[in-house]
């Protein structure tokens, strides 16, 4: 637990480790690139010009600050905690992912890189990457599992409209983990001109820290907005977890405030016991993937297994190493919500608040439904509305037809 010398917000050590998690498990040939990136990131973050440019794009292109909204009818329905939404779904491209993409593309430009690569599973990170690449006129290549390309046609079309080239990955099961491997391979072979834009708080150091820093604007704004509105800090924070970037973004500004309770919500899919889930912390164990050591979904031989969830954006087979550490330290609580619970919370949010949330976000909302009724009316709870649900219409309509 926390000692006088440990602050939870301090993050990774000089080797990029969060306790025994994180680090950089990459091919020798990638090390110079990773070190160059770390240096460029640290330099940029200390330069007022870079930070001012980042602020300007967050304001004018992304649409920040996002509102902190009192969910009055949901609060009345659950009859407990006072529930606030941090409205990341109002950002350009409809989710929090663009916060990170803007930061990384500005860095890539400063480093003189001309080619952006990314991997995507559900396609949301691919769309956000293609968006910023178009804005800055950089070539964009997105690796995507062949199975995912079939499942996510709309997002594939969006990426192509924005000028990105999609490379289908047929190795393995043709899903996200295979696309990640291919992207890392591309990076090694195109060292000079290429920037690898990772979409969550995973990958080798400095990515988990870098992505967290670009997403931390969520928590910084929330803190100020709550102080302005209620005159004090929130009592609890709730966010869904795929790789964990919207959660780290919301949590980071509050990590050293001991009184603020934090809950990260993984996807339990068809149930933890079914083996068909995406809960790396609750249902996995530690190993190495994507250049870092963390909790992973894997079989007894250490083979990474595919994640399952009603929400394609939570299907990352690992979790960011900082979350693994915060879990071990007991600073953040982690829970899991299954497909049925998420879908119920999705419908409730639509009807009560007039907001169609992403199915990923609905996992956080289901945890709110579980917690809020047990808490007093002066308990201030903030849930990260990580994205909007327009992209999920085909899935939701199919499920409603099946149930009709
Ligand atoms: C991608 C995505 C997530 C999961 O990613 P994190 O890195 O865990 O935040 C959650 N919500 C939405 C709307 C997404 O698009």
CATH number of the domain that residue 247 is part of = 3.40.50.1100
Q: What is the pLDDT of residue 6?
A: 60
**Contact indicator for 270, 339 with CB cutoff of 8 Å:** yes
Digit-by-digit pLDDT tens for the chain (404 residues) are: 444 456 899 899 999 999 999 999 998 989 999 999 999 999 999 999 999 999 999 999 999 999 999 999 999 999 999 999 999 999 999 999 999 999 999 999 999 999 999 999 889 999 999 999 999 999 999 999 998 898 888 999 999 999 999 999 998 888 888 899 999 999 999 989 999 999 999 999 999 999 999 999 999 999 999 999 999 999 999 999 999 999 999 999 999 999 999 999 999 999 998 889 999 998 899 999 999 999 999 988 888 888 888 888 888 889 999 999 999 999 999 999 999 999 999 999 999 999 999 999 999 999 999 999 999 999 999 999 999 999 899 889 988 888 87
What distance in Å separates the CA atoms of residue 229 and residue 92, rounded to the nearest whole number?
25
Q: Within this chain, do residues 51 and 142 fall inside the same structural domain, yes or no?
A: yes
For residue 28, give both structure tokens. 């020798």
- Asked if residue 146 is part of any domain, the answer here is yes
Give distance in angstroms: CA of 120 to centre of ligand 1: 12
194 pocket-lining for ligand 1 (C-beta < 6 Å): no
Q: Within this chain, do residues 168 and 244 fall inside the same structural domain, yes or no?
A: no
Q: 383, exposed or middle or buried, with CB in 10 Å at 0-12, 13-18, 19+?
A: buried
Give distance in angstroms: CA of 387 to centre of ligand 1: 7
What distance in Å separates the CA atoms of residue 385 and residue 237, rounded to the nearest whole number?
11
For the CA of 387, the closest atom of ligand 1 is: 13
Pairing outcome for strands 139-145 and 333-338? unpaired
Whether 119 is catalytic is yes
Q: What is the pLDDT of residue 2?
A: 47
Whether 402 is catalytic is no
What distance in Å separates the CA atoms of residue 99 and residue 217, rounded to the nearest whole number?
8
- Asked if residue 13 is part of any domain, the answer here is no
Among 211, 235, 254, the domain-final residue is 211
For the CA of 246, the closest atom of ligand 1 is: 9
99 pocket-lining for ligand 1 (C-beta < 6 Å): no
User: Tokens 């834009």 sit at which residue?
Assistant: 197
123 pocket-lining for ligand 1 (C-beta < 6 Å): no
Residue 114 in 3-state DSSP? coil
Give distance in angstroms: CA of 3 to centre of ligand 1: 32
Q: Within this chain, do residues 89 and 103 fall inside the same structural domain, yes or no?
A: no
Q: Within this chain, do residues 195 and 301 fall inside the same structural domain, yes or no?
A: no
- Asked if residue 7 is part of any domain, the answer here is no
97 pocket-lining for ligand 1 (C-beta < 6 Å): yes
Nearest CA to ligand 1 atom 10: 360
Q: What is the pLDDT of residue 1?
A: 47
Nearest CA to ligand 1 atom 14: 313
Q: What is the pLDDT of residue 147?
A: 85
The β-bridge partners of 18 are 21
Helix (H) / strand (E) containing 179: helix 176-189
Q: Within this chain, do residues 360 and 279 fall inside the same structural domain, yes or no?
A: yes
Q: Within this chain, do residues 185 and 201 fall inside the same structural domain, yes or no?
A: yes
97, 113, 177, 391: the catalytic one is 97
Give me the half-sphere count of Cα atoms (radius 13 Å) on the Cβ side of residue 206.
19
38, 88, 89, 119: the catalytic one is 119
For the CA of 94, the closest atom of ligand 1 is: 13
341 pocket-lining for ligand 1 (C-beta < 6 Å): no
Helices and strands in the chain: count of H runs, count of E runs? 16, 14
Which range of residues forms the domain containing residue 340? 65-94+216-403
Among 211, 245, 262, the domain-final residue is 211
Count structural domains, the chain. 2
242 pocket-lining for ligand 1 (C-beta < 6 Å): yes
Q: What is the pLDDT of residue 380?
A: 99
- Asked if residue 1 is part of any domain, the answer here is no
Q: Within this chain, do residues 150 and 282 fall inside the same structural domain, yes or no?
A: no
244 pocket-lining for ligand 1 (C-beta < 6 Å): yes
- 332-363: buried (b, 16+ CB within 10 Å) or exposed (e) per residue? bebbbbbbebbbebbebbeebbebbbbbbbbb
Q: Within this chain, do residues 351 and 364 fall inside the same structural domain, yes or no?
A: yes
Q: What is the pLDDT of residue 4?
A: 47
For the CA of 244, the closest atom of ligand 1 is: 8
User: Of 92, 239, 246, 356, which is best to mutate to test ligand 1, by the most ligand atoms within 8 angstroms of its C-beta?
Assistant: 246
Q: Within this chain, do residues 194 and 289 fall inside the same structural domain, yes or no?
A: no
- Asked if residue 323 is part of any domain, the answer here is yes
Q: Within this chain, do residues 166 and 248 fall inside the same structural domain, yes or no?
A: no
Among 189, 211, 233, the domain-final residue is 211
pTM reported for the whole predicted model: 0.96
Q: Within this chain, do residues 228 and 291 fall inside the same structural domain, yes or no?
A: yes
Whether 53 is catalytic is no
- Asked if residue 11 is part of any domain, the answer here is no
Q: Within this chain, do residues 123 and 177 fall inside the same structural domain, yes or no?
A: yes
- Asked if residue 357 is part of any domain, the answer here is yes
- Asked if residue 8 is part of any domain, the answer here is no
Give distance in angstroms: CA of 314 to centre of ligand 1: 6
């Amino acid at each position: 637990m926390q000692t006088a010398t440990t602050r939870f917000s301090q993050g990774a050590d000089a080797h990029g480790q969060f306790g025994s998690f994180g680090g950089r498990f990459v091919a020798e040939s990638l090390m110079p690139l990773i070190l160059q990136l770390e240096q460029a990131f640290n330099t940029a973050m200390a330069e007022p010009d870079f930070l001012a440019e980042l602020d300007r794009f967050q304001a004018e292109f992304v649409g920040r600050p996002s509102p902190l909204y009192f969910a009055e009818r949901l609060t009345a329905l659950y009859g407990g905690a006072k529930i606030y939404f941090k409205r990341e779904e109002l950002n350009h491209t409809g989710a929090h992912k663009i916060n990170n993409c803007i930061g990384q593309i500005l860095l890539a430009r400063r480093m003189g890189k001309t080619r952006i690569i990314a991997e995507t599973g559900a396609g949301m990170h691919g769309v956000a990457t293609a968006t910023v690449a178009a804005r800055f006129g950089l070539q964009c290549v997105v690796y995507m599992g062949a199975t995912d390309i079939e499942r996510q046609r709309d997002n594939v079309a969006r990426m192509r409209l924005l000028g990105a080239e999609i490379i289908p990955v047929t190795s393995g099961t043709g899903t996200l983990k295979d696309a990640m491997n291919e992207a890392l391979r591309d990076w090694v072979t195109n060292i000079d001109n290429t920037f690898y834009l990772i979409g969550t708080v995973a990958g080798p150091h400095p990515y988990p820290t870098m992505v967290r820093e670009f997403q931390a604007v969520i928590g910084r704004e929330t803190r100020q907005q709550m102080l302005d509105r209620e005159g004090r800090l929130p009592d609890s924070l709730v966010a869904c977890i795929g790789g964990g970037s919207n959660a780290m973004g919301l949590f980071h500004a509050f990590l050293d405030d001991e009184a603020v309770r934090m809950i990260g919500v993984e996807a339990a899919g068809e149930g933890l016991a079914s083996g068909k889930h995406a809960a790396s912390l609750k249902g996995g164990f530690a190993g190495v993937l994507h250049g870092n050591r963390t909790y992973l979904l894997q079989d007894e031989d250490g083979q990474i297994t595919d994640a399952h969830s009603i929400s394609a954006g939570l299907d990352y087979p690992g979790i960011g190493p900082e979350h693994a550490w915060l879990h071990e330290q007991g600073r953040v609580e982690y829970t899991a919500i299954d497909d049925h619970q998420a879908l119920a919370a999705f419908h409730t949010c639509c009807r009560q608040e007039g907001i169609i949330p992403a199915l990923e976000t609905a996992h956080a909302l289901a945890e709110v439904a579980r917690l809020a009724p047990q808490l007093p009316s002066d308990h201030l709870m903030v849930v990260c509305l990580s994205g909007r649900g327009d992209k999920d219409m085909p899935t939701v309509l199919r499920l409603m037809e099946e149930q009709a």
